Amino acid sequence: MKRVFSSHNLVLAHHSRNLLEAEGSETEMRNQILSSAMGELPPAECQAEVWVLREDEAARAETVLRNSFSRKDEPAWTCRCGERCEGQFTQCWRCGTTRPG
Ligand SMILES: [Zn+2]
């Protein structure tokens, strides 16, 4: 088992899991109940996590996720949560907000 994604954003975590399952990876969600039960941002240890069951699939899974969240040749941007995100990311890695514009 290897964790390949974690986020406070449960929707984003589910989205990531769907992407990996579509690629044929067996995955497991962790902490999703904790995250959804809390109204405010949960602490880091309560982030929703996506794990792949086979560690040898982790590298491929991370590539799938990186590609799905990335767009090349875009300027860096600042999320509403204050996080500065590199231009290749179309969603904030921290809170999952989609880049404005
Ligand atoms: Zn953010």
pLDDT tens track for 44-63: 567 889 999 999 999 999 99
- Split at pLDDT 50, 70, 90, the class of 35 is very low
Is 41 a residue whose pLDDT tops 60? Answer: no
84 C-alpha to center of ligand 1: Å? 8
Cα 2 to ligand 1 centroid, rounded to whole Å: 25
Residue 28, beta-bridge partner list: 51
Ligand 1 centre distance from Cα of residue 54 (Å)? 30
Q: Compute the distance from residue 56 Cα to the ligand 1 centre, in Å.
A: 30
40 versus 78: the higher-pLDDT residue is 78
Q: Is 98 exposed, middle or buried (0-12, 13-18, 19+ CB in 10 A)?
A: exposed
